[in-house]
């Protein structure tokens, strides 16, 4: 379990995260929602071990992150940051294969198998022969997704939980690929017992694919739980500052549908 307890961080006098606690267990998909600047990416950076909280702690299976070195951590969790900025001339396969770097013990054959699977899961098998800089924004995003899939799939090697942290992975994708990516993430969570945390802006997309949602507003957690109980007009007003109406989804009454006015 990836566990964040009472995280607190302040930057230039501004509270970025204030007493935020969140857990991510094997097999579940947790969505993080919040307005711009609510602290979503900071939370993700702390869960990734990239940024240390000023107060509070983050632990993996009971071990605090600051006691794990980078190489070790990379064998348990993969991170897809927002808007990757690769401009060098690498092939798609070369980028995807980097996901296996934390696992030098894997044979070339093993890496190949992982890559084939990841490329298919991210729906980019047809791009395997292309150069990365020539891809469109959405294609590049999916290739990067394939890379973190390789990493998290290879992590089966290591003992303990596996975690996949995705920062707005659907930002430059068309609706079909948004659905496909989140479906893939959920399938992996179920099949491979991976804990997936995903930052999203589309509330309904989050409601459709996430088991639990965490709502952040001005650095505070204003709600955390299953979509139906968390997505209420009150919490949505607190998070986004706009009026919203929540109705049951016409196709699946267990699922809420949010309509912003």
Partner 1 sequence: MSSVTSPLSSPLPAASKTSRWRTPAGVLGLLSALLIALMLLSASSGALHIPLTELPGLLFSASGPDETLWRSVLIDVRLPRVLFAALAGAALALSGAAMQALFRNPLAEPGLIGISAGGALGAVGAIVLGGGSFLVLAPSAFVGSLVATVAAYHLGRRYPGMAGLLLAGVAINAICGALVGLFTYLADDNQLRSLTFWNMGSLAGASWPLLAGLAPWTLVVGALIARDWRAMNALLLGEREALHLGFPLKAVRRRLILLTALLVGPLVAATGAIGFVGLVVPHLVRLALGADHRWLLPTSVVAGAIALTLADWLARIAVIPAELPIGIVTSLVGGPFFLWLLAQRRH
Q: Which residues make up the interface to partner 1 (CB under 8 A)?
A: 48, 50, 69-75, 78-79, 81, 84-86, 88-91, 93-95, 97-99, 101-102, 108-109, 111-112, 115-116, 119, 128-129, 131, 147, 151
- The least distance separating partner 1 from the CB of residue 87, rounded to whole angstroms, comes to 8
Closest Cα to residue 62, out of 74, 50, 76?
Answer: 76
Half-sphere exposure of 37 (CA within 13 A, CB side): 4
212 — phi, psi (to 5°)? -135, 155
Longest Cα separation, the chain: 54
CB closer to partner 1, 104 vs 250: 104
Collapsed DSSP state (helix, strand, coil) of residue 211: coil
- The least distance separating partner 1 from the CB of residue 137, rounded to whole angstroms, comes to 16
Closest Cα to residue 206, out of 21, 40, 39?
Answer: 40
CB closer to partner 1, 90 vs 180: 90
> What is the full DSSP assignment across 188-212?
HHHHH-EEEEEE-S-HHHHHHH-SE
- The least distance separating partner 1 from the CB of residue 136, rounded to whole angstroms, comes to 18
CB closer to partner 1, 12 vs 254: 12
Q: How far apart are the first and last CA of the chain?
A: 38
> Burial letters for 38-50: b for 16+ Cβ neighbours within 10 Å, e otherwise?
bbbbbbbbbbbbe
- The least distance separating partner 1 from the CB of residue 97, rounded to whole angstroms, comes to 6
CB closer to partner 1, 4 vs 79: 79
- The least distance separating partner 1 from the CB of residue 130, rounded to whole angstroms, comes to 9
Residue 240 · residue 216 · CB < 8 Å: no
Residue 144 · residue 82 · CB < 8 Å: no
Residue 189 · residue 196 · CB < 8 Å: yes
- The least distance separating partner 1 from the CB of residue 147, rounded to whole angstroms, comes to 8
């Amino acid at each position: 379990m990836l566990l964040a307890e009472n995280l607190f961080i302040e930057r230039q006098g501004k509270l970025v995260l204030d007493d935020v606690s969140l857990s991510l267990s094997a097999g579940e998909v947790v969505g993080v929602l919040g307005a711009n600047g609510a602290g979503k990416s900071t939370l993700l950076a702390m869960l990734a071990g990239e940024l240390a909280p000023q107060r509070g702690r983050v632990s993996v299976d009971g071990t605090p992150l600051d006691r794990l070195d980078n190489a070790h951590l990379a064998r348990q969790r993969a991170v897809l940051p927002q808007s990757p900025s690769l401009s060098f001339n690498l092939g798609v396969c070369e980028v995807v294969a980097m996901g296996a770097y934390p696992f030098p013990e894997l044979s070339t054959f093993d890496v190949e198998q992982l890559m084939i699977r990841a490329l298919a899961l991210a729906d980019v098998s047809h791009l395997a022969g292309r150069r990365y800089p020539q891809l469109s924004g959405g294609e590049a995003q999916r290739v990067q997704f394939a890379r973190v899939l390789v990493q998290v799939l290879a992590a089966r090697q290591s003992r303990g939980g596996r975690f996949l942290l995705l920062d707005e992975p659907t930002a430059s994708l068309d609706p079909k690929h948004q659905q496909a990516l989140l479906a893939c993430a959920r399938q992996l969570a179920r099949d491979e017992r991976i804990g997936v945390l995903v930052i999203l802006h589309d509330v309904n997309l989050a409601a459709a694919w996430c088991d639990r949602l965490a709502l952040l507003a001005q650095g505070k957690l204003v709600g955390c739980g299953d979509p139906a109980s968390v997505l209420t007009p009150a919490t949505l007003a607190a998070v986004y500052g706009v009026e919203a109406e929540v109705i049951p989804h016409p196709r699946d009454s267990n699922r809420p549908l949010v309509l912003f006015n």
